[in-house]
Structure 1
Amino acid sequence: MTDRPIADYAVIGDTCTTALIARDGSLDWLCWPRHDGPAVFLALLDGERGGACRLVLDGLTETTRRYLPGTNILETTFVTATGRAVLTDFMPLHRHESVPEEGPDGRAQAQVIRRLACLSGHVSGHWRLRPSFDYARAPTEVVAEGGAGLRFRGGGDSLCALCAVALAPRDDGAEGAFALAAGGRADLVIAHGDGVGDGDGDDRAAAGAGVPDMVDASLAATRDYWEEWSGRCTYEGPYRETVLRSALTLKLLTHGPSGGIVAAATAGLPEAVPGNRNYDYRYVWMRDASFTVTAFVNLGYDREAAEFLRFLREADASRGRNLHLMYALDGAVPPEVTLDHLRGWRGIGPVRIGNAAADQDQYDIYGEFLVALHGYLEAVEYDPPVKVNDHLPEALGHLTGHILRARHAPDHGLWEMRTRKRQSLHTKAMLWVGLDRAVQIARSDPKHRLADPATIERWEAAAAEIRAEYHARGWNPTRGAYTMAYGADDLDAAVLRAVLFNAFDPHDPRVAKTLERISEELGAGDLLYRYRIDDGLEGDEATFTACAFWRVGCLTLAGRTDEATALFERLLTRGNDLGLFAEEIDAESGEQRGNVPQGFTHMAVINHAVRLAAAGGETRTDEPDCQAEPEAVTA
């Protein structure tokens, strides 16, 4: 089956890359060796040309799935006409005995392990494995390596597969049949590069330990890693399972070696059906910095926040002088190209990799960085590592300098519309936010090492001027709302985001009126569109899920806590059965749209659960646990 609903997919990963696995067990997306590397399985975007690793069970009647509690280990249970089997999917990630101050906190093994066990009765079927290297642009060569092992080569890359049952080459792939009684296993290990080992140079399969033993040992180590990580979550409210799932998802989107966090795991999934809004989100956006760091800090994960700042520090050696809108995990964001040989999800192209928005001017990024820096410094009580502390004066100077120079300039705005620049209200508000946080950071240093009193006063004066300007020029009396840009009539849900940063007073009658107008004109029930204007692209995009959660925050800040809580709980039901969210939701069908899982959405889930807790607005005590008893799906 191809063109599965986006909500059918679960995600696993090892903090280097991720894989997407459908409800029926088909592995349809995997980029190696890192998130933004070339895809080696991409049936997600083309079921015919894009390779996959499929599990085919005879007589399948029912499927249920869950994550093992507190982990990113996926467990799918299959019922067939003759028995029951469980598939456990994970990418091995083993704990360091001693976690370094910086860098990965675990050892990724560059493997996908698929542990298939018959629980009762007997089950039969086969594995089908077909990589398609370099986004299916390179032919695949299959070479037997003795025993049950095969090697796949293509486009200068290679994979090794080892299975508890024999794999037989089939054209550009392989197949392995099995017939299992209760207790029987048909485990499959797929490794990137030279071989299947434990990551320490000890190739257990070659040493004769056997596939099941190797799989069991790696599963135990990986489960230990995730359970220890989850155990450090400080949130204990009634939405704990939901919040922890979002935190685990954000952790999957991290890149341990660099510290970066990509916006989403995928590329090319459409935001509009039909349309041409298909982009590559496997890069690091500065716009995500503030909410990313806040989400991790809110849950007690200060190290993850520090690692993201490490990425920014190393990606921008100028210490804020040459800050960019987005970054690749290593090097520059590649030019945007179209993969015309791929049909796209449900035939909706074009499939794009790279991202042309990297060249846009979005001046809100200076405020985003300063919010992230301020949140982290508060979390560590202004006692950061030397590598951060030593460069603070220079970074503050560069970032505030950017704000002062850009305060009157038009830009492309938060939504990366490929149209003309405007005087974006959200940008102006974030410039004020940036100066406000810079002042707070500098005033935390009584020795005036970060900025002298005259400089701080200059920042405060500029901030007051910027705030007065966007309050005056951003208000449209005819529309009765703050609008997208100075002099514009267009409504923009980004205004809600500015309220969350205190750029607007949530109790201000004008803010209340704006929220009312946005709900009326951009709302689709509980959901919200970002905007409803011609943005130069084809098709009508779906609602933007994070915006709906921002409305929760605005209601909470305005003291409408019961209303906010009810909305928050309804929105949580919009995720898939595992609590995962894509970027958008189609208002009519309820289907998820856009790249998945989307970090921006999961940050919003975390931050607004925490915000409700701070407001005393959490009333639920019986949150359904989607991990415990997953809903059965008839095959």
Structure 2
Amino acid sequence: MTDRPIADYAVIGDTCTTALIARDGSLDWLCWPKHDGPAVFLALLDHERGGSCRLALDGLSGTSRRYLPGTNILETTFVTATGRAVLTDFMPLHPHESVPEEGPDGHARGRVVRRLACVAGRVSGRWLLRPSFDYARAPTEAAADSETCLRFRGGGDAIRAACTVPLALSGGAAEGAFALTAGGRADLVILHGEGEGKGEEDAAEGMPGAVDASLAATRAYWEEWSGRCTYDGPYREAVLRSALTLKLLTHGPSGGIVAAATAGLPEAVPGNRNYDYRYVWMRDASFTVTAFVNLGYDREAAEFLRFLREADASRGRDLHLMYALKGPVPVEECLDHLRGWRGVGPVRIGNAAADQEQYDIYGEFLVALHGYLEAVEFDPPVKVNDHLPEALGHLTDHILRARHAPDHGLWEMRTEKRQSLHTKAMLWVGLDRAVQIARSDPKHRLADAATIERWERAAAEIRAEYHARGWNASRGAYTMAYGADELDAAVLRAVLFDAFDPDDPRVARTLERVGAELGAGDLVYRYRIDDGLEGAEATFTACAFWRVGCLALAGRNGEATALFERLLARGNDLGLFAEEIDAESGEQRGNVPQGFTHMAVINHAVRLAAARDGETPTDEPDCRAEESDALPA
């Protein structure tokens, strides 16, 4: 067996955790009971040692797949030499009778349901189930409660399996053979934990009639959630898929939002850029909040504020770059027993970047907070409102203290700290949004006039400084850090936040240089320097979408629209994106699905809609497949 392309994977989930399922129906990644918990299935990173739940059909000749409209329920159709079958995969998430003010908005059932139905002719094959607990570090013990209900234990964890066909144990694995005619089903339900009582009765609730009921309830939950999306533009399908994907990356019990569903997928092949993204990055989560707000999902934004309120009792005094869903971020370690995707190791869990200093996060959070407060017309729930003055004061104090300090920057390079241009720009953005929040406060309690004026003066000084010190005359561009020669695609993002004027000739020249030196057709590298890591990383997908926004700001809406549509076509067949794209092969790279990419899809679809509504395009769409590497002036 060879490792499947990253783009082969679909994602399902229940807002507690996610599972990745390949085009052929193999479930190759699942961490339980939460996103950053230990993996139970991880063939994604080692198909020999890592467990999976596979479907092996006899005489398979073709597959197709889709999500049921407006849901995260995956439907895969298999054509064999003798018939056709449909596999429906979902993690049950049932609606509450009434949604509470805070906390999960649905009831996650802690299970994966796999319903295989023969819809024409006859099909035969096998379910192949082999868990591998604690990232395949713990041995698996298996026992049968009945011929259709099994238990697996290992590493202090447990799962149960119930099936409509007999399951035969062989060591720590199980096989269930089936032969179906039209109308026949071979359903498999995998449940987390030991359960209550003997197991057979509890596990058996997942069988035929209950599967139908759970599927209907889960579909109702997702359709109701999708129905609240306020975007109704030409890219609604792509926007809604991105929104549904971001919702899967939320954690209902805590309100946190993880950066991606996976760990250890490489950003360079070969290379050693393999990190664990199953944590709450302040930057990624804050920008995801902005995407939710842009679509009318204010509750998700409020839930992230709840996460911060409960994770950071200092109310902004000690804001961190990164959080685990509960407790501290684990120490980074390498799983040397795993070969890694396509043999590219090391596989890392935990993340050492948690100890980095990245001061742009204060600006990021204030952008999200400002967007949320605007969406709720500056009348947030009491638990948010009560802490606003204190939080706003702490956040702005952080900015004022950090304004002259070097940091590790947006890209988390494991090198020495520098005076990062993007960081300085985001400090200005943070103060600018703080001023807007304070001036919009109907009760005038967030800051007095003298404080607001102090923020405005500091913002003006910061802006003047990074415009003067960030410009490199010999390069004819704003560069990555003060006194540096390297270009950085993060300047595109700073332009989108109004930290730079897109009509400024220096900014236009910078965008030209970034396109010429970092561009690869429609794609964009974040930088092209020696960062101390092995291998040449792929292009960073979000950077390409930022380019769309810069074109729209320049009034070049036709070019922006054409580029946006070409970028959307680079997602997989389900509209999912990883973190990066290899410029030569076009293959997805890095952890998947990546929240940073999907929020860029949403925010730029919204930006293009605003540009269409607010002004007349100055050019015509360019639908050619190729484009100059240079960003238009």
Aligned pairs for 1:227-626 (under 5 A) are 227-445=223-441, 447-616=443-612
Structure 2 CA distance, aligned partners of 1:239 and 1:219? 27
**Residues 80, 454 of structure 1: CA spacing in aligned structure 2 closer, same or farther, 3 A cutoff?**
same
Structure 2 CA distance, aligned partners of 1:290 and 1:309? 10
Match of 1:150 in 2: 150
Q: Does the Cα contact within 8 Å between 1:327 and 1:333 map onto a contact in 2?
A: yes
**Residues 518, 114 of structure 1: CA spacing in aligned structure 2 closer, same or farther, 3 A cutoff?**
same
**Residues 207, 368 of structure 1: CA spacing in aligned structure 2 closer, same or farther, 3 A cutoff?**
closer
Structure 1 residue 482: deviation in Å? 0.8
**Residues 207, 14 of structure 1: CA spacing in aligned structure 2 closer, same or farther, 3 A cutoff?**
closer
Structure 1 residue 315: deviation in Å? 1.1
More off after superposition, 474-483 vs 347-356: 474-483
Match of 2:84 in 1: 84
**After TM superposition, what 4+ stretches of structure 1 lie above 3 angstroms from structure 2?**
201-210
Structure 1 residue 69: deviation in Å? 0.3
Aligned partner letter, 2:282: M
Structure 2 CA distance, aligned partners of 1:482 and 1:572? 29
More off after superposition, 132-141 vs 385-394: 385-394
Q: Which structure has the higher relative contact order (CA within 8 Å, separation 6+)?
A: 1
Aligned partner letter, 2:311: A
- Deviation readout 1:7-39 (Å, 9 max, x if unpaired): 000000000000000000000000000000000
**Residues 208, 271 of structure 1: CA spacing in aligned structure 2 closer, same or farther, 3 A cutoff?**
closer
Structure 2 CA distance, aligned partners of 1:165 and 1:490? 61
**Residues 237, 202 of structure 1: CA spacing in aligned structure 2 closer, same or farther, 3 A cutoff?**
farther
Residue 186 of structure 1 aligns to a residue in which SS?
Answer: strand
Q: Does the Cα contact within 8 Å between 2:149 and 2:204 map onto a contact in 1?
A: no
Aligned partner letter, 2:451: T
Q: Does the Cα contact within 8 Å between 2:477 and 2:506 map onto a contact in 1?
A: yes
Aligned partner letter, 1:388: V
Aligned partner letter, 1:409: A
Match of 2:15 in 1: 15
Structure 2 CA distance, aligned partners of 1:210 and 1:290? 37
Q: Does the Cα contact within 8 Å between 2:189 and 2:206 map onto a contact in 1?
A: no
Q: Does the Cα contact within 8 Å between 2:160 and 2:203 map onto a contact in 1?
A: no
Residue 292 of structure 1 aligns to a residue in which SS?
Answer: helix
Match of 1:71 in 2: 71
**Residues 147, 392 of structure 1: CA spacing in aligned structure 2 closer, same or farther, 3 A cutoff?**
same
Structure 1 residue 204: deviation in Å? 9.8
Q: Does the Cα contact within 8 Å between 2:55 and 2:127 map onto a contact in 1?
A: yes
Q: Does the Cα contact within 8 Å between 1:339 and 1:353 map onto a contact in 2?
A: yes
Structure 2 CA distance, aligned partners of 1:28 and 1:290? 29
Match of 1:625 in 2: none
Structure 1 CA distance, aligned partners of 2:282 and 2:412? 13
Match of 1:627 in 2: none
Match of 1:41 in 2: 41
Residue 530 of structure 1 aligns to a residue in which SS?
Answer: coil
Structure 2 CA distance, aligned partners of 1:209 and 1:112? 13
Residue 349 of structure 1 aligns to a residue in which SS?
Answer: coil
Aligned partner letter, 1:273: V
Structure 1 residue 329: deviation in Å? 0.3
How many residues align? The count is 615
Aligned partner letter, 2:352: A
Match of 2:627 in 1: none
More off after superposition, 336-345 vs 290-299: 290-299
Structure 2 CA distance, aligned partners of 1:134 and 1:246? 30
Structure 2 CA distance, aligned partners of 1:266 and 1:157? 20
Q: Does the Cα contact within 8 Å between 2:268 and 2:537 map onto a contact in 1?
A: yes
Aligned partner letter, 2:83: G
Q: Does the Cα contact within 8 Å between 2:162 and 2:204 map onto a contact in 1?
A: no
Aligned partner letter, 1:60: L
- Deviation readout 1:442-496 (Å, 9 max, x if unpaired): 1112543111110110000000000011011111111111110011110000011
Structure 2 CA distance, aligned partners of 1:184 and 1:449? 65
Structure 1 CA distance, aligned partners of 2:8 and 2:476? 41
Residue 186 of structure 2 aligns to a residue in which SS?
Answer: coil
Structure 1 residue 288: deviation in Å? 1.4
Q: Does the Cα contact within 8 Å between 1:585 and 1:591 map onto a contact in 2?
A: yes
- Deviation readout 1:571-593 (Å, 9 max, x if unpaired): 00100000000000000000000
Q: Does the Cα contact within 8 Å between 1:543 and 1:584 map onto a contact in 2?
A: yes
Structure 1 CA distance, aligned partners of 2:467 and 2:95? 50
Structure 2 CA distance, aligned partners of 1:446 and 1:95? 35
Query: Structure 1-normalised TM-score?
Result: 0.95
Structure 1 residue 511: deviation in Å? 1.4
Q: What do you get for the CA RMSD once the two structures are aligned?
A: 1.5
Aligned partner letter, 2:160: C
Aligned partner letter, 1:235: Y
Structure 1 CA distance, aligned partners of 2:441 and 2:236? 36
Give yes or no for the alignment of 1:60 onto 2:60.
yes
**Residues 62, 205 of structure 1: CA spacing in aligned structure 2 closer, same or farther, 3 A cutoff?**
farther
Match of 2:180 in 1: 180
Q: Does the Cα contact within 8 Å between 1:289 and 1:368 map onto a contact in 2?
A: no
**Residues 122, 195 of structure 1: CA spacing in aligned structure 2 closer, same or farther, 3 A cutoff?**
farther
Aligned partner letter, 1:182: A
More off after superposition, 386-395 vs 587-596: 386-395
Q: Does the Cα contact within 8 Å between 1:425 and 1:484 map onto a contact in 2?
A: yes
**Residues 443, 417 of structure 1: CA spacing in aligned structure 2 closer, same or farther, 3 A cutoff?**
same
Structure 1 residue 111: deviation in Å? 0.3
Aligned partner letter, 1:433: V
Give percent identity, aligned residues only.
Answer: 86
Q: Does the Cα contact within 8 Å between 1:268 and 1:351 map onto a contact in 2?
A: yes
Query: Structure 2-normalised TM-score?
Result: 0.96
Unaligned runs of 5+ in 1: 620-635
